[in-house]
Structure 1
Amino acid sequence: MRILWYGHAAFLIETEGTRIILDPYTSADAGSYAPIADPADLVVASHENAKYHSGLSEIVPPFQYLLGTEFPSEGVEALGIRFEAIPVFETPEKLPGDEVTILQFRAEGLHVAFLGDLGHALSPEELTRLGRPEILLFPAGGPPTIDFPLIPDLIAALDPKLILPMHYLTPKINLALQPVERFLECLPDWPVDRVEASSITVDPSNLGSRRIVVLDSAR
């Protein structure tokens, strides 16, 4: 499985011959990230927000589009992969209009969880639904997503092998977020690998011990 970080919350996951783009931004609205401008078989968005999470206009068609907030409780199967969505909120107040989702799927013997715009601690029921993903795509920039004091307990409960930070301050984003270093300070016992690349290839045999991999944005 190859995972590429475009920037902000947008990833390309290449698995089992399928190209999956998660939460694509619209470049003209998100700051100075370049257009994604890649083909995809599937585009999967955690919620509807064309600026930062569901921008379809710059993805090369044709592709199938899945929106997590519209998933049934049992999830959706597309191109042989079952995607599940856990309804959560972007803010700790959990107000109407703040609804987002966590997305998860399994492929190549790996359980991948994309936390999207999660903004609060998870309940026991939500943790049970999420389980123990090996690969965790984590919003690392603080509010409006999950605040830093809540991060260590959530990571301990999920117990992933690999964390890929996303949704944090870079020179290219136009949101008031914190840099990835603030996230790393919350997890001082986790080894950090700055790979100086925009992608990583993983399989069950090379996950090894737990680590955080900081990717460079591809756009």
Structure 2
Amino acid sequence: MLRTFAFACLSAGLSFSSALAQDQARPASQCQAIANALPRVQFASFQPPTPIEARRSLEEVRIRWIGHSTYSIETPEGVLIATDYSGYHRPQRIPDVVTMNKAHSTHYTLSPEAGIKHVLHGWSDQPGRKAEHHVVLGDAYIRNVSTDIRAYGGFEENGNSIFIFEVAGLCIGHLGHLHHELSDGHYTEIGRLDVLMVPTDGGLTMGPDSMSRVVQRLRSSLILPMHRSGPPLERFLAMFDGKYDIAYAREPEIVVSLRNLPRKPQILVPQGL
């Protein structure tokens, strides 16, 4: 009996140590509440000051709408990410990281190019399990928060993901093919989002009223529409009359940094949408 008890305690201790090691290996998120990140916090190291122009280039993230729900995100170190990647809408060069959601074939591909370093599915191949990604590549940290999607008249649990890209102090979120409003638990997992990529299709994901509530709850500084143009986009924009500034991008590439985030929340319609 004593031997059995000791073995059980040892096994529990090993399990706890293993879980703790995995938790400590996970990067600390700068976008989640600081209370959640404290056990794994990474303290800043102070470096000699760099010239202003060089510092600005290290802070700038370059975002471009490629088509449908695909945005490219280029980090200051040149890591290229493509969201909801189907292989049809492509950046000018092969991305280093692609994220995918399987709501429709326009949001994923099962045959991505061989040169892509990381292919991140927003779903798990094991039914009922959540996809879980914590990828660090260069100066980018990419993680996900699972949500459900409509499927065959019901809902497929954890079939979609909100992907979050932590780059140059910014928290950038892509809602993917979001089919339902988020719970308090989702918002806690997501944390702060400075830039939000949101589908504006008028009902293929969610209606404009439901989607606008999600957007307002996230309180992002910069909203980038995607997925649909025309009347659905116009109805989405109308939900924010007076609450958010509405602007239209003058260039194909949107350059974002912590320094140039709008003080009043802004919906910026990218060129071509």
TM-score bucket of the superposed structures, by smaller chain = 0.7 to 0.9
Give the corresponding residue for 2:79. 18
Cα pair 2:170 2:194 within 8 Å, conserved: yes
Work out whether 1:75 is the aligned partner of 2:129: no
Secondary structure at the residue paired with 1:96?
strand
State the TM-score, normalized to the length of structure 1: 0.81
Within 5 Å, give how 1:17-166 maps onto structure 2: 17-27=78-88, 35-36=89-90, 38-48=92-102, 51-55=105-109, 62-64=115-117, 65-70=119-124, 73=132, 75-91=134-150, 95-96=155-156, 99-166=159-226
Deviates more, 1:129-138 or 1:146-155: 146-155
Give the corresponding residue for 2:8. none
CA distance in 1, matches of 2:190, 2:79: 23
State the TM-score, normalized to the length of structure 2: 0.66
Cα pair 1:193 1:212 within 8 Å, conserved: yes
Kindly indicate whether structure 1 or structure 2 has the higher relative contact order, using CA contacts under 8 Å at least 6 residues apart: 1
Q: Percent identity?
A: 27
Aligned amino acid, residue 213 of structure 1: L
Cα pair 1:105 1:113 within 8 Å, conserved: yes
CA distance in 1, matches of 2:209, 2:83: 26
Aligned amino acid, residue 78 of structure 2: G
Q: Structure 1 146/55 Cα, relative in aligned 2: closer, same or farther at 3 Å?
A: same
Structure with max Cα Rg:
2
How far does the alpha carbon of each residue in 1:61-90 deviate from its partner, in whole angstroms, 9 at most, with x for none?
511222232475463333453221111123
Cα pair 2:147 2:157 within 8 Å, conserved: no
Work out whether 1:180 is the aligned partner of 2:241: no
Cα pair 2:144 2:162 within 8 Å, conserved: yes
Q: Which has the higher helix share?
A: 2
CA distance in 1, matches of 2:201, 2:136: 31
Secondary structure at the residue paired with 2:235?
helix
Query: 1:6 offset after TM fit, Å?
Result: 0.7
Q: Structure 1 72/37 Cα, relative in aligned 2: closer, same or farther at 3 Å?
A: closer
| 5+ long unaligned stretches in structure 2 | 1-60, 125-129
Pairwise CA RMSD: 2.7
Q: Structure 1 9/2 Cα, relative in aligned 2: closer, same or farther at 3 Å?
A: same
CA distance in 2, matches of 1:156, 1:104: 17
Query: 1:13 offset after TM fit, Å?
Result: 0.5
CA distance in 1, matches of 2:91, 2:64: 14
CA distance in 2, matches of 1:10, 1:67: 14
Cα pair 1:136 1:160 within 8 Å, conserved: yes
- Residues paired across the two proteins, number: 203
CA distance in 1, matches of 2:93, 2:102: 20
Aligned amino acid, residue 36 of structure 1: R
Work out whether 1:213 is the aligned partner of 2:273: no
CA distance in 1, matches of 2:91, 2:198: 24
